[in-house]
Amino acid sequence: MVRFEDLRIFVSAADHGSFSAAARELDLTPAVASAALKRLELTLETRLFVRSTRSLRLTADGERYLEYARSAIATLDAGRNALARDKTAISGTLSISVPSDLGRNVLLPWLDEFQRRHPRVGFQVRISDRLADLFRQPVDIAVRYGTPADSSLVALPLSESNRRVVCASPAYLARHGTPQTPVDLRRHNCLSFVLGESLHDRWTFERDGVSQTVPVKGDRVSDDGELVRRWALAGCGVAYKSRYDVLEDLRAGRLVQLFGDHQGEPSPLYLLCVHRMLLSPAVKRLRACLQERFAAFEVG
């Protein structure tokens, strides 16, 4: 069996015309290089070099074999490089779960752009506001608001500065008036979101380090964040939404943010998975891309 290392030493010695030079190039001792050449000659049952105390030259068999040795080394190097590229390649199919509102209106265009840049990446997208059971469902990663309650999940921040905002359409405010303080929400139709069995009907605000929670009520409740946003756009009531979900609506004037001197509760955004072994090169690149896009999204 011909050793790969022996082939390298043979080619280097042929190129340099010296065992010592080949040994220096490959960071070996001259004795190791000489032993490798002897081993190769024994395996091939032929002399590859004519040696003297002052020179080293290839025999006729050595000349013929050199071409094959170079080819073998090039092929093996190409195979090794291909495997190395595969380990870092941005490729494969990612199954990703995204929130209803943010997913449809913000993330999906960004995923399209990511796929155009990396055409070897495919996506299986699940849209739901419920946190996917990453241990049971065929989901690689999930994008979700809020620090996950399950501490066994790997949670990588995408944006930690996001908060909830209270907003309503100009048409609703024209009909019902503009609430001036969070307490005024008790006299308004508040559009509530329900997640699982939990009704989000207590809205929390912070001003000058003081926290305030206001119970709200209204005639519409949904477990779909996108539907709550559509109700707000249609003038059906006041919504308490992640700022990212309504940022473009606020900038376009379709919705108006209320209580600018009060901060809504934090709503950081995370990329979740069950184990760090699932953080493939594609996932890492996607996370970096999303972090950049959210940072740019913030400043418009």
Q: Where are the domains of the chain?
A: 4-88, 92-161+268-299, 164-264
pLDDT more than 70, % of the chain: 95
Which class would CATH give 4-88? Answer: mainly alpha
* pLDDT reading at 228 higher than 80: yes
**CA–CA separation, 199 and 209 (whole Å):** 26
* pLDDT at res. 55: 78
Q: Which of 68, 66, 21, 46 is nearest to 34 (CA)?
A: 21
Average pLDDT value for residue range 277-293: 91
pLDDT-derived band at 196 (thresholds 50, 70, 90) equals confident
* pLDDT reading at 6 higher than 70: yes
Tell me, which fold does domain 92-161+268-299 have in CATH? Answer: D-Maltodextrin-Binding Protein; domain 2 (3.40.190)
When the pLDDT of each residue in the chain is averaged and rounded to a whole number, the result is 90
- CATH topology of 92-161+268-299 equal to that of 164-264? yes
Tell me, which fold does domain 164-264 have in CATH? Answer: D-Maltodextrin-Binding Protein; domain 2 (3.40.190)
Average pLDDT value for residue range 180-208: 93
Average pLDDT value for residue range 42-64: 88
* pLDDT at res. 44: 92
Tokens 């946003």 map to which residue?
A: 229
Q: What is the pLDDT of residues 113-172, one digit of tens each?
A: 999 999 999 999 999 887 656 666 778 899 999 887 777 789 999 999 999 999 999 999
Please spell the DSSP secondary structure of the chain, one letter per residue: ---HHHHHHHHHHHHHT-HHHHHHHTT--HHHHHHHHHHHHHHHTS--EEE-SS-EEE-HHHHHHHHHHHHHHHHHHHHHHHHHHHHH---EEEEEEE-HHHIIIIIHHHHHHHHHH-TTEEEEEEE-SSPP-TTTSS-SEEEEES--S-TTSEEEEEES--BEEEEE-HHHHHHH----SGGGGGGS-EEEEEETTEEE-EEEEEETTEEEEEE---S-EES-HHHHHHHHHTTS-EEEEEHHHHHHHHHHTSSEEE-TTSEEPB--EEEEES-GGG--HHHHHHHHHHHHHHHHHHH-
pLDDT more than 90, % of the chain: 66
Q: Do 26 and 33 form a contact (C-beta atoms < 8 A)?
A: yes
**CA–CA separation, 172 and 49 (whole Å):** 93
**CA–CA separation, 81 and 87 (whole Å):** 10
Average pLDDT value for residue range 220-245: 96
**CA–CA separation, 269 and 98 (whole Å):** 11
End-to-end distance of the chain based on CA atoms, in angstroms? Answer: 64
pLDDT-derived band at 200 (thresholds 50, 70, 90) equals very high
* pLDDT at res. 135: 63
pLDDT-derived band at 191 (thresholds 50, 70, 90) equals very high
Token output for 184 = 């005024």
Q: Which of 62-76, 94-108, 118-132 has the lowest mean pLDDT?
A: 118-132
* pLDDT at res. 131: 67
- Angle between helices 4-16 and 30-44 in degrees, nearest 10: 110
Q: Do 166 and 173 form a contact (C-beta atoms < 8 A)?
A: no
Q: How many CB atoms lie within 10 A of CB 241?
A: 26
* pLDDT reading at 14 higher than 80: yes
Q: Report the predicted TM-score, pTM, of the whole model to 2 decimal places.
A: 0.69
* pLDDT at res. 88: 61
pLDDT-derived band at 193 (thresholds 50, 70, 90) equals very high
* pLDDT reading at 178 higher than 90: yes
Average pLDDT value for residue range 197-213: 92
pLDDT-derived band at 86 (thresholds 50, 70, 90) equals low
Token output for 52 = 């003297």
Average pLDDT value for residue range 14-42: 89
